[in-house]
Amino acid sequence: MDNQQSHNILKQRMYDRLTALQQSHLIAHIETLRPEDQAQILHQAEQLDYSVLDPQTSEEQRGHFEQLRAVTLPEIAEKRAHYSQIGFEAIRAGKVGAVLLAGGQGSRLGFEHPKGMFNIGETRELFIFECLIRNLLRVTEEAQAFIPLFIMTSEENDAETRRFFSEHSCFGYSSRHITFFVQEQLPTLDTDGRLMLSDRTHIATAPNGNGGWFASMERAGLLEMLQQNGIEWLNVFAVDNVLQSIADPCFIGAVIDSGMTSGAKVVAKAAPDEKVGVLCLEDGRPSIVEYYEMTDEMRTRREPDGTLSYNYGVILNYLFRTDQLSQTLTKQMPLHRAFKKIRYLSDTGRIIKPEEPNAYKFETLALDMVKMQESCLAFEVERSREFAPVKNATGVDSVNTARALLRQNGIRL
């Protein structure tokens, strides 16, 4: 069969498939494209993950919630030396790796580059990536051992992120110990349930959320590397917390000492109605209940000592056992949809950059991985020392609130 024949067969197959899915508009204009552009869009259509069209995947039935105790600040203070010793031993034995989730689009911040490239300094340059690497270096310098750092990027920001690290000599981290990998994309849907084009030759897609990181590591062939190097624990964390404490020996030691299969850093809620996901039990397994899923009774219930029963909010800093994570690979993670501003090609052939959210993107969430673990240690940390998220340009969790927290922690801006 020659190239032209196989091209025509693929075209017909994709036309039939998309028609059956009521999405044939994606290639309705195909005859007007150059042969190489036809090949590009057909290839993308063939590879596309169509699970977003199945409403089952985005609906999740929740179970029975119960509170989960945390190991609290005073309890940790008492055993800090003991936990830290266990943690440092694990780090020095090469059993701990760190995973930076940097594939997000950071649309709320409205910064045109990867969020980690944002300069949070005022009188000098201080990039978010730099803040994170400095925090990690504090641990590796004390341990006198490097911790392998895996950085998840997206198709959109991979090249720029790698270039930035290289231009800044990895902010003093050893490049030999940094491995980049790219997460997968999922198609986006408009409000009529139609897949979208981002231009005449591409179907619109967005990064598939922060819950797919381990599956993406597997696809990138990194699980063998974990195994060969004896990495038993992975500390996964978000790019946008500039006070993020990474590979914290005390946290690692506490989780190992507890015998649990995972751990989550948590902060006590500032108020019963704070908009934060809370670590709890769901049908007896560790889980995170979102603030909007909690009833008033759950939100306000208190323990005899006066603390809220559902008190501990997650900050996207988890420790997972790699052997347990391998078991999660066979399970389908729920897809959550988010209404976002998504650039698209209009029916009249114009590329529209919307000012307001116009379409849905679909994401798996790291918090759903917690539910797949047998047990999870909730490890309380001080909010003012470890949690300074940069989500928005102004207001709550913004550049200014993060700057104030950095200053409070003695960091010169």
Q: Which of 152, 289, 308, 319 binds ligand UTP (CB under 6 A)?
A: 152
For ligand UTP, the binding residues in 2-61 under the rule CB under 6 A are: none
Q: CA torsion, points 379, 382, 384, 389, in degrees to nearest 10?
A: 0
262, 47 contact by CB (below 8 A): no
Q: What is the 3-state secondary structure (H, E, C) of 343-379?
A: CEECCCCCEECCCCCCEEEEECCCHHHHCCCCCCEEE
Q: Which of 87, 97, 103, 249 binds ligand UTP (CB under 6 A)?
A: 103
Q: Which of 165, 70, 68 is nearest to 116 (CA)?
A: 165
Report which DSSP code applies to 221: T
Q: What is the rounded CA–CA span in Å between residue 151 and residue 182? A: 8
Angle of helix 249-258 relative to helix 73-92, nearest 10 degrees, comes to: 90
103 vs 187, which CB is nearer to ligand UTP? 103
CA 386, 391, 393, 395 torsion-angle sign: negative
- Of 376-405, which residues contact ligand UTP (CB under 6 A)? 391
From the list 126, 102, 125, 98, the residue with the least C-alpha distance to 114 is: 102
Sign of the four-CA dihedral 244, 247, 249, 255: positive
Is residue 104 near ligand UTP by the rule CB under 6 A?
A: yes
User: Quick check: 188 and 342 in contact, CB under 8 A?
Assistant: yes
Q: Residue 253 or residue 313: which is nearer to ligand UTP going by CB?
A: 313
Q: Is 107 one of the binding residues for ligand UTP (CB under 6 A)?
A: yes
Residue placing its CB nearer to ligand UTP in the complex, 102 or 178: 102
Residue 288 touching ligand UTP (CB under 6 A): no
Closer to ligand UTP by Cβ: residue 71 or 316: 316
Minimum Å distance from CB 340 to ligand UTP? 7
Residue 123: how many CB atoms within 10 A of its CB?
7
Output the smallest distance, CB 206 to ligand UTP, in A.
Answer: 7
Minimum Å gap between C-beta 239 and ligand UTP is 4
CB of 333 to ligand UTP, least distance (A): 12
Residue nearest to ligand UTP (CB): 104
Give dist(CA 172, CA 162) in Å, integer: 15
Closest approach of ligand UTP to the CB of residue 227, in Å: 24
Q: Which of residues 315-334 bind ligand UTP (CB under 6 A)?
A: 316
β-partners of residue 195 are 189
Question: C-beta of 161: minimal distance to ligand UTP in Å?
Answer: 10
Considering only 210, 261, 317, 322, the residue that binds ligand UTP (CB under 6 A) is 210
Report, in Å, the least distance between residue 27 CB and ligand UTP: 26
Q: Which is nearer to ligand UTP, 206 or 250 (CB)?
A: 206
Residues 6+ apart with CB under 8 A from 301: 67, 308, 309, 310
Q: Which of 87, 97, 187, 207 binds ligand UTP (CB under 6 A)?
A: 207
Q: Site for ligand UTP (CB under 6 A): how many residues?
A: 21
Task: Report, in Å, the least distance between residue 317 CB and ligand UTP.
Answer: 11
Binding of residue 277 to ligand UTP (CB under 6 A): no
187 touches ligand UTP (CB under 6 A): no
- 201/241 with CB nearer ligand UTP: 241
Give 180's DSSP letter: E
Q: Which residue in the set 238, 246, 254, 388 belongs to the binding site for ligand UTP (CB under 6 A)?
A: 238
**Backbone dihedral angles phi then psi of residue 286, each to the nearest 5 degrees:** -65, 145
Q: Closest approach of Cβ 341 to ligand UTP, in Å? A: 9
Q: Is 35 exposed, middle or buried (0-12, 13-18, 19+ CB in 10 A)?
A: exposed
Q: What sign for the dihedral angle of Cα 287, 291, 295, 298?
A: positive
**Closest separation in Å from C-beta 109 to ligand UTP:** 6
Residues at the contact surface with ligand UTP, assessed by CB under 6 A: 101-108, 115, 152, 183, 207-210, 238-240, 316, 363, 391
